[in-house]
Amino acid sequence: MQFITDNLLSLILFSPLLGGLIVLLLPGGNKELVRRGALALSLIPFILTLVAWFGFNAAAEVDGFRFQQQVAWYPAINSSFHLGVDGLSLSMVLLTTLLAPVAILASFSVEEKIKPYMALFLALETGMLGVFLSLDLLLFFVFWELGLVPMYFLIDQWGSKTGERELWGGMKVSARRYASFKFMVYTMAGSLGLLLAIQMLGVVSGTFDMLALFQTWPGLTGSLFGLSIETVKSVAFWAFAIAFAIKVPVWPFHTWLPDAHTEAPTAGSMILAGVLLKLGAYGFLRLVLPLYPAEAAQYAPVLALLATAAIIFGALSAYAQTDFKRLVAYSSVNHMGFVVLGIAAAAYAAGTESATIALNGVVLQMFNHGISAAAMFFLVGVIYERTHTRDLGAWGGLFPLVPVFGGLLIFSSMSSLGLPGLNGFVSEFLVVRGAWPIFTLFTALSMIGLLFTGAYILKGIASTLHGPLNEKWKGHISDISRREILVLAPLVVLMLWLGLWPAWLLSVINQAVVGLFG
Amino acid sequence: MIPYILSAIVFLPIVAGAVLLFLPPSNRQLIYRFALAVALLAFLLSIVVYFSFDAAGPRYQFLEKYDWLPALGISYHVGVDGITAPLVLLTGVVIFTGVIISQRIDERPREFFAFLFILASGVFGVFVSLDLFALFFFYEIAVFPMYLLIALWGWKQTREYAAMKLTLYLFIGSVVALVGSLAMYFASGLDTFDMLALEGANFSADFQNFWFPFVFFGFAVLGGIFPFHNWSPDGHVAAPTAVSMFHAGVLMKLGAFAALRVGIMLLPIGAHTHMPWIILLTLVNVVYGAFIAMVQTDFKYMIGFSSVSHMGLVTMGFATLTYNGFVGASVQMVSHGVMTALFFAIVGMVYDQAHTREIPKLGGLMRIMPFAAVAFIIGGLVSMGMPGFSGFIAEFPIFMGLWAGGYPLIAIIAAISIAVTAAYILRAIGRVFFGELPAELEGHMHDIQPSEKLALGILCLIMITIGIYPNVILPMVQAGVNTVLALVGGS
């Protein structure tokens, strides 16, 4: 027991990876064993996270990072294996370890090469958790990049089988290869600036420890490389910001997202939208705001403008889609826009009450979007498995054929829409309430985006469930299965719970927001 | 401290090579087993050297010194420091894995292994020599068998051309370096070729500025420095698999290392004068090499140009003349050596079965040889500098060295190569190992043998171990770099 509490974060971090290795050693012929084994193994980090969650709450009044661990890792350049959580990272860790078993349960329908699939999935979980848990800048980058590799292979190998893309030169490649390649190279290229900026910070400061850098870096004066420190910091700020903006994704860096989300296997999309996008927003909160408070305030209007564009164009693009999965993918651009809007507002007016409200909303919105986007992608996957099409025009009037599915789809859509009483409303309200006095115009414009959110959500529901019944599906479509309901159950419960009583999560988030930016 | 261990390592292969020539040529089984046993022994000895090197101990360890030509101040003086101990291990690994995968050498295997072992002796000799003359002696021993190995056992279409080109480039380079070294010998007035003595020769600034380029470029040709890199991809492609592994994995390190040991360490003022423009050449190596690799359709040429790009990072790290740059470059020599040996081994395995190296004509090999495919993916991740693997551990400090040395623009431009590398590696993985197996290859391909899996497994294990736990190599490298810095100055 002592061992567990002393090494809690390391255990959370590495238990999925170890689980993945165990899965590889299971006998391959027994698919059911591999599936259940992977599910059982993915529950371990979740249980450990609950231990951390309740241990954390007991000491919520303590400022700063809990459960810290620090071991020498790369002493030649002063980088150490330093983990720790505050309310911000802990809520993201909870989201990750919760969605992982859910996504693995959703993957029970995968039939091909399930051993490497499950192993990669668990490795991906370690990569994402590492980003949330790291308190060392180099370690952060290590996990930031490492998570790309499993995702690349998940899309490339288990993505949708149909579809082709023509490249320049007329060569044709499968859509999933195109999407995975674009995802990987786009993100890696986007991270180059981050990599360079991290190197520069390390050279200038002589350490990669975030807690030390938060103290020294923002107050640094003088000149570097023959340039004024302000210029260097501005460039470094944009290097960080662009890397994270690509991941979020902020308009106009979002073009990898619809491809990757659409071609990924269902569970891959769930994790992509549910957790991977949060990595970018987390980067803004964990690194950009504390390291570059002045630059963040200076450039916040630009970010707010891009966020507003993401909200409006994301919604409009979603409305224009005929592919249900693409529609949901663009809805992520729309919803994550609110996250960035809140971050920009908080950066502009750091320390004010509105900023605190906005940041609380931002983190809650990250959590909420994780849950509802995962649910939406899963529901699209459910109907795709039955009909082998994602074309919105191919369905229609399915509600009487699949009543339970229909109910769940409407419920999740309403959560995504921001219906009061469900989770999305609370967080979007907080963001808007916080951002309104700071960026009134942008916030007002983004309300237009919210209008279109309603439009595309209803379009999705209407063209699947309502209207005249497409006779083709009569007798060929079965309602949602018990396993699939089990996948959705925790998500649906959380949507309602967070909508009615978000305080349990907000109190943890608020601790971090006040501690960091208060 | 085990006495005579370095001499044992240096002379074991060449003696074994001589013995090989007396074995009956018809008994191939015996020849292969004998070669394998010798390679294993060399590997084990190099492991002993690596793990008994004391990072906190004296600068050079396992020292041996005997007079050779005392009248000229030439001695047989060997020892390893923190930079060369890992390189000795690297050589041991590559010779062992290279012999393992050379099972299918049908033509005169006896002579093949004999030459390969002579080459190995030369390589070991250069890494451990502390005498300038001995270093040249072993250097030529390492270069000469390359000619025969490529010309006799190489790819039939280009082997004569490639062998001749390689030999000419390297001989001219070594002659230029030799001239510089002789200048040092005469100017020092110490009547010795002992490098430890020459380190204290206090050459004048003018002397150093004039002779540094001779010595540095003379050796750096073998390190593949732009614009003298042209021999290297041709040589890689024409060489038989084990020789390519040796060539890219170890021999190119020989050039970079000798440029460091003789050029930078003996002529530090010259290094400070010239590095600010030499670093531009290494930048060309890194970025241009990566772009050229991207447009290759021949699998082996792609790997060959990727070596040019990655070796550019080694010389770039040296050229920063900073602590981080030296540390990164030293780790990169090992990391790249292992990675590229792995690449060439796999390319060889694919070519042996498919009889083509055209990337568009390959496909779907994941199903046929999953172990090799996964190993190639691991090597690919190292190549693109993915964190968690040795490439990242090596490249990150090199870039830090660029920042610390005051070359922020170079760092930014060089970073492009990371994205380009990712693009061509992913493309190769996607085309060769995934997708559909071409119809004409159906039935002609089979999985690799267990011994080959062992070889690939060893190489992968090293790359992952360094990536996850860099301290397995760093204390040693740091100790070595500190002595370099003591000569070169800086922090």
E strand intervals along B126-235: none
Q: What is the model's pLDDT at position B38?
A: 93
Closest chain A residue to the Cα of B426, Cα to Cα = A181
Interchain CB contact of B371 with A (< 8 Å):
no
Q: What is the model's pLDDT at position B491?
A: 53
Nearest CB partner across the interface for A177, out of B404, B430, B477: B430
Domain presence at residue A358: yes
B190-246 confidence digits (pLDDT tens): 888 888 888 888 888 899 999 999 999 999 988 888 888 888 888 888 888 888 898
Are A77 and B399 an interchain contact pair (Cβ–Cβ within 8 Å)? no
- Mean pLDDT across chain B: 89
Cβ contacts (< 8 Å) between B417 and chain A: which residues?
none
Tokens standing for residue A328: 């949901």
Backbone angles phi, psi at A74, to 5 degrees: -135, 75
Quickly tell me which residue has 């420095």 as its tokens. Answer: B225
H-only helix segments in A134-174 = 137-146, 148-158
Query: Residue A163 pLDDT > 80, yes or no?
Result: no
Interface of A with B in 195-234 (CB under 8 A): 195-196, 199-200, 202-204, 225
Are B422 and A203 an interchain contact pair (Cβ–Cβ within 8 Å)? no
Buried b (16+ CB within 10 A) or exposed e, A282-318: bbbbbbbbbbbbebbbbbbbebbbbbbbbbbbbbbbb
Counting the structural domains of chain B, the total is: 1
For A312, A504, B257, B459, the CA distances from B90, given in Å and listed in that order, are 57, 56, 13, 10
Are A76 and B397 an interchain contact pair (Cβ–Cβ within 8 Å)? yes
Task: Please give the residue that has the higher pLDDT: either B156 or B407.
Answer: B407
Mean local confidence (pLDDT), B319-333: 93
Are A188 and B418 an interchain contact pair (Cβ–Cβ within 8 Å)? yes
B110-135 confidence digits (pLDDT tens): 888 999 999 999 999 999 999 999 99
Cβ contacts (< 8 Å) between B388 and chain A: which residues?
142, 146
Cβ contacts (< 8 Å) between A74 and chain B: which residues?
393, 470-471, 474
Q: What is the model's pLDDT at position B104?
A: 79
Domain presence at residue A471: yes
* Rounded CA separation A205/A207 (Å): 5
Mean local confidence (pLDDT), A183-198: 87
Residue B333: domain span? 5-488
For B83, B201, B274, B308, B315, the CA distances from B210, given in Å and listed in that order, are 27, 16, 10, 27, 20
Interchain CB contact of A142 with B (< 8 Å):
yes
Counting the structural domains of chain A, the total is: 1
H-only helix segments in A206-323 = 210-216, 229-247, 256-263, 266-271, 277-283, 289-291, 293-320
Q: What is the model's pLDDT at position A63?
A: 57
Residue A307: domain span? 292-518
pLDDT band per the 50, 70, 90 thresholds, residue B490: low
Are A146 and B387 an interchain contact pair (Cβ–Cβ within 8 Å)? yes
On whether the CB atoms of residues A129 and A271 are closer than 8 A, the answer is: no
Mean local confidence (pLDDT), B168-180: 89
The β-bridge partners of B74 are B69
Mean local confidence (pLDDT), A279-303: 91
A412-430 confidence digits (pLDDT tens): 998 888 888 888 888 888 9
Closest chain B residue to the Cα of A141, Cα to Cα = B387
A with B: how many residue pairs have Cβ under 8 Å apart?
A: 84
Mean local confidence (pLDDT), B20-48: 89
Are B384 and A142 an interchain contact pair (Cβ–Cβ within 8 Å)? no
Q: What is the model's pLDDT at position A124?
A: 93
Interchain CB contact of B316 with A (< 8 Å):
no
Interchain CB contact of B412 with A (< 8 Å):
yes
Closest chain A residue to the Cα of B475, Cα to Cα = A76
Are A76 and B418 an interchain contact pair (Cβ–Cβ within 8 Å)? no
Closest chain B residue to the Cα of A188, Cα to Cα = B419
Query: Residue A168 pLDDT > 80, yes or no?
Result: no
A241-266 confidence digits (pLDDT tens): 999 998 888 888 888 888 888 888 88
Domain presence at residue A379: yes
Are B419 and A203 an interchain contact pair (Cβ–Cβ within 8 Å)? no
Domain presence at residue A134: no
Interchain CB contact of B327 with A (< 8 Å):
yes
Are B471 and A149 an interchain contact pair (Cβ–Cβ within 8 Å)? no
Cα of first residue to Cα of last residue in chain A, in angstroms, is: 35
Mean local confidence (pLDDT), B417-436: 87
Nearest CB partner across the interface for A199, out of B384, B411, B427: B411
Here the ipTM equals 0.87
Are B471 and A157 an interchain contact pair (Cβ–Cβ within 8 Å)? no
Among A263-272, A343-352, A387-396, B58-67, the least confident range: A387-396
Query: Residue A59 pLDDT > 70, yes or no?
Result: no
